[in-house]
Amino acid sequence: MKITVAQLNYHIGNFTRNKKLICNAIEKAKSNGSDLIIFSELCISGYPPLDLLDRYDFIEKCNQTVVEIAKECTGIAAIVGSPTINKNSEGKKLFNSALLLSEGKIVFCVNKALLPTYDIFDEYRYFEPGNKFSVIPFKGLKIALTICEDLWDEQPFDNEFEKKKLYTVSPMRELKKQDPDIIINISASPFSYTKTEARENIFRGKSQKYKIPLINVNQTGANTELIFDGASIIVNSKGEIIHRLPFFEEAIETYSSEEIFSGKLLVTKTKPKPIELIHKALVTGILDYFAKTNFKNCIIGLSGGIDSALVLCLAVEALGYKNTRALLMPSRYSSESSVKDAVALAKTLKVHYDIINIEKTFITFEKELEPLFKGTEKEVTEENIQARIRAVLLMAISNKYGCILLNTSNKSEASVGYGTLYGDMAGGLSVIGDVYKSDVYRLANYINRDREIIPQNTITKLPSAELRPGQLDTDSLPEYKILDAILYQYIELQKPAESITGEGIDGPTVAKVIRLINYNEYKRYQAPPVLRISSKSFGDGRRMPLVARY
């Protein structure tokens, strides 16, 4: 018996494209003599379809596409993920289902039991939990078919106040009673550089606990802010990963049941380091955002600083230098080295760049506002005017030439509000809004791993917004090493202030940082979508009230 794993890149609501991907993979599996091909969770609709699931016509299109794909399943069976209608008189109107297609029809249906509602997930909003657990008999094998979270029943809900399991039901424990031969798990598991190891450990633990092999099929590609890394795995009955599909790439691979059950397969490549995975994730996020919105070109405000330099490099890698342009907008406070570094980077990447000095425009604003500002000191207001002038210029080029403006704010800045609303926070997509400043430096060095692309001075100089004479980021913020340690513990780990510790961290600094995080929620509420690479990014994964005081 042969089994094919199809790790593909789906587009939400693009039924024609998704059907073509799936049918092409089925044909390839047939040519390899495969008996079964496995696709990922909600591959028919694309993941996550969100409130499109409330549309009757959308669900009808899902059902129709399944029927059409089933007709291609002659001489081969396929497992696909799709929303299906709950025909019971009670409960939500849909199930999140895995369907076994064979000889032109649906022969088996499994409904997802564990519906996550944490972080970016809100599946219980749409789906009714499955409550029946049956193995699937297929060509002499008994298959325990599960959907993503159904194998995550033992993950702990862990904070300062309680430690307990998140779920009260274990689908796999129920399926084990029927003595399955293999576990198949179809998933749409978004990438998080802090969770790749944990995800694999979940699957390894299940195989080891139940002493049966496991195949996990994850999707790849990106849909808006969510990035999927693929990295589907095969685990033997000892809990050892015997094969891993590539990260952030489509792949269709066929294996014999003997290879899977004997554990003769071998992991073909060393697992990439976290910074390499983050780099690949961001490039994938940019590429698919543009491809799936039918945009081709982008523009970036290039300052000579490390953030805009990094975003420009990522954009060129994703879209090509011909589809990327830069605008340099020096002011009276811009250092000569910053302009020089920005020009050098643009030339190295062969990117079209323009220079507009904002001095005349800034002077005009100063003169117009002089009667209103008479008797006041120059402070952050004048700094923000410069940032907003730059945003207007960038958006003008965006409108004129159809270029999407890529935002260059990092997570450290976004966390504490170190950015100007309608200024440097503008953009259609926030590329590094989930990347702490410390990791911005690591990514820059990774890009320079073979040769100098980002000028070394850009990496080593003290960071500054250059909006007033001699300005440094540390005038307003702790050193980024300290700041990022506090932010990570407060945002990702959700520690209370008194539990946040580390080298150079003290109580007053923690209190100041947390005050800045909470105060600037309104800015993040209006920010562009952020490419998610962590377990707790700004956006749908972190929902905070704007008017709270806590």
Work out the mean pLDDT of the chain and round it to a whole number. 94
**Could you report the per-residue pLDDT of 406-446, keeping only the tens digit for each?**
999 999 999 999 999 999 999 999 999 999 999 999 999 99
User: What amino acid occupies position 435?
Assistant: V
User: Residue 207's Cα: distance from chain center in Å?
Assistant: 27
pLDDT (mean) for 342-353: 98
Choosing from 19, 43, 73, 112, the catalytic residue is 112
Report the DSSP pairing between strands 77-85 and 297-301. unpaired
Among residues 41, 72, 123, 128, the one annotated as catalytic is: 41
Given the residues 73, 148, 313, 403, the one annotated as active site: 148
Q: Specify the 3-state DSSP secondary structure of 297.
A: strand
Dihedral (Cα; 466, 472, 475, 480), 10-degree rounding: 120
- Is-catalytic flag, 112? yes
Phi-psi category of 411—alpha, beta or left, where left has phi over 0 and alpha has psi -120 to 50? Answer: alpha
Region 452-459 average pLDDT: 96
**What is the pLDDT at residue 159?**
53
- The mean per-residue pLDDT over the stretch 16-25 comes to 98
Mean pLDDT, to the nearest integer, of 390-398?
98
Phi, psi angle pair for 46, to nearest 5°: 85, 155
DSSP state of 402: T
Across 180-202, average pLDDT: 94
In angstroms, the CA 516 to CA 491 distance is 13
Residue 104 has pLDDT above 80, yes or no: yes
Provide the percentage of residues in the chain whose pLDDT is more than 70.
Answer: 97
State mean pLDDT over 340-366: 97
Q: The pTM is what?
A: 0.94
Q: pLDDT value at position 118?
A: 87
Whether residue 48 has pLDDT greater than 60: yes
Give the number of other CB atoms < 10 A from CB of residue 305. Answer: 20
Q: What is the 3-state secondary structure (H, E, C) of 56-81?
A: HHHHHHHHHHHHHHHCCCCCCEEEEE
| Residues 251-280 pLDDT 10s | 999 999 999 988 777 766 688 999 999 999
Q: Which domains does the chain have, with CATH numbers?
A: 2-271 (3.60.110.10), 277-473 (3.40.50.620)
**41 belongs to the catalytic site:** yes
Is the pLDDT confidence value at 326 over 50? yes
Q: Residue 255 has which token pair?
A: 């294996």
CA atoms within 13 A on the CB side of 449: 7
Tell me what pLDDT residue 346 has.
Answer: 98
Residue 495's nearest CA partner among 524, 519, 517, 480 is 517
**What does residue 434 show for φ and ψ, rounded to 5 degrees?**
-115, 20
d(CA 52, CA 72): 27
- Residue 240 a catalytic site member: no
- Beta strands, E only, 311-410: 324-328, 352-355, 403-407
